[in-house]
């Protein structure tokens, strides 16, 4: 939460919303007014991103008191208070929308991530997120996904190798692609689209295989063919309705872009009172 990317994003969000100043608050609220602000969940959800409140308010001059009643990864119920803040009424009002936007979006990701993680309970399979994230928000959305109980896949193109179908085509085949990455020490995974590519990848010593767009029964057959020689990740058509069947195929991982690209924001409410 303290990464430079996160701090820059929060600063950008505040600048985007407040700009040269909050006209409504400046006109309606005296500079000496102080208030208590409280955040409430308006539905059952998994909280994520509430720790950003401290940095959001610090960028606008700080508050006198901030207490979190729920931290990221915590399941809360409709009506439950998750945070309380005391300070300048102007500061609380001008930070209201930005703080809610972050908490609602990130809690939405965490909530759907928890559903995916729960769906594979009592199997050996674990759920991975993907790079299908909102531009600029990847680090936070992956934090939220992890808070919900799934495993973070690679952060970007720079921290792991994932040879996909277009890489195989551009490199000239499975063997050629794998030969070109043997010198690297990071995690190396390759997508295989046919049984011939599967056998070729295994003969080249591939240890991590991505199997895409298979049915659960096809996945089970391919995994039996692999017979423990490599770890397996399944992707494509992975939804809450299908994930259990894929997990029961014997796969080590299933990945779903829906955890980040299709997560609906959850509803939170912010109310202030003067003191």
- Asked if 97 is an active-site residue, the reply is yes
Contact 111, 45 (CB under 8 A): yes
First to last CA, the chain: 31
> Taking Cα atoms as reference points, which of 104, 86, 91 lies closest to residue 50?
104
Instruction: State the Cα–Cα distance between residues 184 and 168, nearest whole angstrom.
Output: 17
Burial 32-47 (b: 16+ CB within 10 A, else e): ebbbbbbbbbeeebbb
- Asked if 115 is an active-site residue, the reply is no
| Active-site choice (129, 141, 191, 197) | 191
Contact 160, 122 (CB under 8 A): no
What residues does 235 pair with on adjacent strands? Answer: 212
Handedness of CA 181, 183, 186, 192 (dihedral sign): positive
- Asked if 131 is an active-site residue, the reply is no
**Cβ neighbours for 274, distance < 8 A, ≥ 6 positions apart:** 33, 34, 35, 89
Q: Phi/psi at 274 (nearest 5 deg)?
A: -75, 155
| Active-site choice (115, 126, 164, 244) | 164
| Active-site choice (200, 212, 252, 267) | 212
| Active-site choice (86, 132, 180, 193) | 132
- Asked if 191 is an active-site residue, the reply is yes
- Asked if 132 is an active-site residue, the reply is yes
Instruction: State the Cα–Cα distance between residues 99 and 14, nearest whole angstrom.
Output: 9
Burial 80-108 (b: 16+ CB within 10 A, else e): bebbebbbbbbbbbbbbebbbebbbbbbb
Annotated catalytic sites, by residue? 97, 132, 164, 191, 212
């Amino acid at each position: 939460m303290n990464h430079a990317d996160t701090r820059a994003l929060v600063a950008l969000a505040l600048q985007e919303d407040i700009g040269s100043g909050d006209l409504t608050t400046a006109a309606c609220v005296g500079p000496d007014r102080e208030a208590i602000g409280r955040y409430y969940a308006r539905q059952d959800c998994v909280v994520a991103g509430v720790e950003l409140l401290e940095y959001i308010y610090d960028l606008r001059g700080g508050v006198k008191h901030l207490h979190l009643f729920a931290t990221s990864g915590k399941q809360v119920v409709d009506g439950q208070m998750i945070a309380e803040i005391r300070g300048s009424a102007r500061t609380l009002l001008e930070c209201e929308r930005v703080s809610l936007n972050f908490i609602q979006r990130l809690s939405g990701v965490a909530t759907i991530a928890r559903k995916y993680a729960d769906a594979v309970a009592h199997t050996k399979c674990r759920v991975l997120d993907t790079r299908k994230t909102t531009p600029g928000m990847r680090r936070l959305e992956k934090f939220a996904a992890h808070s919900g109980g799934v495993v973070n896949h690679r952060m970007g193109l720079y921290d792991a190798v994932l040879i996909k179908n277009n890489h195989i085509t551009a490199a000239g085949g499975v063997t050629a692609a794998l030969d070109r990455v043997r010198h690297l020490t990071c995690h190396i995974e390759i997508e295989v689209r046919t049984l011939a590519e599967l056998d070729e990848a295994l003969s080249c010593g591939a240890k991590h295989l991505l199997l895409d767009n298979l049915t659960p029964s096809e996945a089970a057959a391919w995994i039996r063919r692999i017979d423990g020689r490599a770890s397996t990740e399944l992707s494509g058509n992975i939804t809450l309705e299908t994930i259990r069947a894929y997990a029961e195929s014997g796969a080590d991982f299933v990945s779903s872009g829906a955890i980040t690209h299709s997560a609906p924001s959850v509803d939170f409410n912010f109310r202030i009172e003067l003191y």
